Amino acid sequence: MNGTPASRRTFLAMCAGLLAVPRHPRPAVPHPDPRPGIDASGVLTREQLKGLPEDVIEIFDMVREIPGIADGIGCNCGCSAFPTYRSLLTCYYETGMARGCHICQGEAKLVYRRHGEGQSLEQIRRAIDARFG
C-alpha cells in the first residue's frame, strides 16, 4: 500500500483474509463424571442466601433440582483453580463463587434449561463447551 489508499476491492480482500484466520479457543475445563448418589445437600439454602437478589437465589434452586447433572459439568470461570472445586455443583456450595459469578450462574441456567428439554449429559456438556469453553 505504501502510502497510496487501498481500493475497495483490496480492502475487502484483506478483510476476507482476516476472517479466514483460524480461531484458537481456550480449551474447555474437563467435565468430571458425576458422583454416584450425589445430592444437593451442600448447595446453599435460601436462608443462607438471604440478601441476594431473587434471580440469583432461583439459580441455586435450579441447581438443587439437578445435582447429578451439575456434578458432571466443568465450570469455565476459573473456580476450578480452587482446592474445594470439583464441578459446577461445588460452585454452589458455601465455598463456591456462584453467589456473584455470572459464568457459574449462566452455566447453571443453561444446564437446567437443557436438562428440562430432555437433553443428555453429553449434549449439555457440548452446549456448555460451545458457549463458555
The identity of residue 6, as a single letter, is: A
Residue 129 burial class via C-beta count within 10 angstroms: exposed 0-12, middle 13-18, buried 19 and up: middle
Lowest mean pLDDT among 4-8, 70-74, 92-96, 124-128: 4-8
What local confidence, expressed as pLDDT, does residue 77 receive?
87
Domain ranges of the chain: 8-132
Average pLDDT over residues 88-98: 92
Rounded distance between C-alpha atoms, residue 95 and residue 92, angstroms: 8
Position 82 confidence tier, pLDDT thresholds 50, 70, 90: confident
Q: Are 39 and 133 in contact (CB under 8 A)?
A: no
* Res. 130: pLDDT tops 70: yes
pLDDT by residue (tens digit) across 6-41? 566 654 454 444 444 444 455 568 899 999 999 999
